[in-house]
Chain A
Amino acid sequence: MTSFQAPAWSVPVLIAAFVIFIGLVIFYVIKSRGIRRPLFAMPYTAWVALFTVIPCLLIAYYAFTDAAGRFTLDNFKSFWDSDYEMNRELIEMGMDPAELGFGRGTVNVDTLVYSLWMALLCTVICLALGYPAAYIMADREFRLGATIVVLFIIPMWMNFLLRTIAWMSLLEDNGLINNFLASIGLPRLRLMYNSGAVLMGMIYNYLPFMVFPIYNVLNKMDLKYSEAAMDLGASPIKTFLKVTLPLSLPGVVSGITMVFMPSVTTFFIPRVLGGGNTEMFGDLIERTFLTANNWNVGSALSLIMMVLILLSLGLLRKVDPEGEGEGML
């Protein structure tokens, strides 16, 4: 199935438009005798138009058209019912899909729900593991905080695919963990090819993104507040709950953003560590485009993904309107 593409003359037209744009900028520079600073942004403006705005519009375009380029909402129906196209053909042939035992194909919706669930779990566990780590690192008596931050960054230089694959040699049936268990007389466990392994791979990859912003906020926090609370008789636990935790909320919010967003679209990790039914939404989008070669449904899925991300971003912004936690990265 091939979808609608631009006619062959469009590329020369695009290049011509670009040349004219450059010409206009040069003309303007000569006319106003010297460069005005906003003009420095012109090359970037052209770049953004071509490589950000047009591609986004293309996704929207393909999501709302069929293979022949006509407007349609079928792609979104295909999201809801992954067998929609097949069922429609059956109806056109005069058969009733329900009678033949074909119902709604739930693969797409199920995958989305599964991805959201996995991302939620990953975010919660990262928060549970990362907050104490950030709290310890920011402790004034601990002193090693800055060094540990670097130690958290270094693993991210190892290619992320290889890091994920390295987990295979730990988790395999014949892997290091199982060999260790066997050597001390414990039964071997099935650690790979299930949701647990995928979740672990996600936590492994995204944990630093939870620690950095929380550490950042805690590290900059004015100690006077918690000291005052203690002086006024609050217990350490109460001080933490009533003073430190609320003040560190911006860091928590941006940590959640930075973990949740990429984990919903996790791609590749489920393929390596997961089994048969651990496909996530990122893999589904990729498969729809490259294996099923269906750009229209694939674009609709991408659009749904983008809307979800924007909605959750908007929600999180409400909690942290000033984006205070976004100090790092």
Chain B
Amino acid sequence: MKKFLQRFYIILILLFLYVPILVLIVQSFNAGKSRAKWEGLSFVWYEELFKSSAIMDALKVTVTIALLAAVISTVLGTLAAIGIYAMKKRPQALMMTLTNIPMTMPDIVTGISLMLLYLFFRVDRGYWTMLLAHITFDIPYVILSVMPKLKQMNKFSYEAALDLGCTPGQALRKVILPAVKPGVVTGAMLAFTLSLDDFTISYFTTSPLVQNLSTLIYSQARKGIKPTLNALSALMFITLLVLLLIVNRRTADNHPVKS
């Protein structure tokens, strides 16, 4: 009985989480445009999806920004974590506080503060300003993923490598980087997904001429979303799901998936 109740409750909660997504995926195969009426199975929205230049442009912007932001923030963030970890106590505390600011600030305030930065310095908002904003909110997550790995490491192995004749560069490559690699990978994945899904900060840091998927969806939300966008998100969802399954299979015994 207890087991049944437990399962029943979990299934109810999962249903709550998945019903809208299932609805969305089903709609993408609906021949008609109506959200509520089923008019037969069709792939017409998938065909239209690849013909729509607005969506394809937005997809390009979203993916390239997510990739670039993930790579740049991973490099900067990993270096920063190594540097901050080696700092003396006071500057270290200061840097960690500054790192925590963007994470505790509501997205909308982060977005607006960056918008004010661009407006203040009369920088035209567009692709590059959005990229800079994405890197800015990604870096703290990379630092916070790498930091615990540095703390787990033996404090003296870096110095030992230097004593044994490594140059600092070699010690970095051969001692520190292998030890923090799992944290770097987690950070990079986190940065990529956060950037892929971001709406609020992108909304304030780009112009209506350069849209990513989220801002495109937003601009269409009031007029009524076309099923083409459902088709696209269904495709992206399934791609990510398959990627996760592959990654999970390959690293099943390494470490569990981190949110």
Contact = CB atoms under 8 A, between A and B. Distances in A.
A156 B233 CA distance: 12
A156 to B, nearest CB: 8
Contact of A41 (B79, B136, B217, B218): B79
B259 A153 contact: yes
B132 interface: yes
B23 interface: yes
B interface, size bucket: 35 or more
Contacts, number: 244
B115 A289 contact: yes
A313 B100 CA distance: 12
Q: Is the interface of B mostly helix, strand, loop or mixed?
A: helix
B258 interface: yes
B61 interface: no
A45 B95 contact: yes
A6 B119 CA distance: 9
A83 interface: no
B130 to A, nearest CB: 13
B84 A41 contact: yes
Interface in A93-145: 129, 132-133, 136-137, 139, 141-142, 144
A165 interface: yes
A271 interface: yes
A132 B2 CA distance: 13
B219 to A, nearest CB: 10
State the 4 A-B residue pairs at the shortest beta-carbon distance, nearest first: A41-B83, A44-B80, A40-B83, A55-B113
A28 to B, nearest CB: 13
A267 B108 contact: yes
B259 A58 contact: no
B160 interface: no
Contacts of B13: 129, 133, 207
A324 interface: no
Contacts of A146: 256
Contact of B109 (A5, A59, A132, A208): A59
Interface in A48-77: 48, 50-56, 58-59, 62
A152 interface: yes
B41 interface: no
Interface stretch (B3-11, B44-52, B63-71): B3-11
Given A41-B84, A44-B79, A158-B233, A52 B21 contact: no
B98 A163 contact: no
Contacts of B157: none
Interface of A: 5-6, 8, 10-11, 14, 34-45, 47-48, 50-56, 58-59, 62, 129, 132-133, 136-137, 139, 141-142, 144, 146, 148-163, 165-170, 172, 174-176, 179, 204, 207-208, 212, 261-262, 264-265, 267-268, 271-272, 282, 285-286, 289, 295, 298-299, 302, 305-306, 309-310, 313, 328-329
Given A45-B95, A329-B259, A37 B86 contact: yes
Contacts of A174: 36
B120 A167 contact: no
Contacts of B139: 44, 47
A54 to B, nearest CB: 6
A14 B104 CA distance: 27
21 contacts: A8-B122, A11-B122, A11-B123, A37-B158, A39-B83, A44-B143, A55-B117, A59-B113, A136-B10, A141-B3, A150-B244, A157-B236, A161-B221, A162-B217, A165-B217, A166-B23, A167-B20, A168-B35, A170-B23, A175-B35, A268-B200
A136 to B, nearest CB: 5
Nearest to A164: B20
B27 interface: yes
A43 to B, nearest CB: 6
B101 interface: yes
A155 B3 CA distance: 25
A38 B83 contact: yes
A230 to B, nearest CB: 16
Given A6-B120, A175-B35, A179-B36, A161 B106 contact: no
Given A35-B168, A150-B257, A305-B106, A268 B237 contact: no
Contact of B101 (A50, A52, A166): A52
Interface string B176-213: 00000000000000000100010110000000000001
Contacts of A212: 259
Contacts of B35: 168-169, 172, 175
Given A5-B119, A37-B82, A51-B136, A306 B10 contact: no
B6 A136 contact: yes
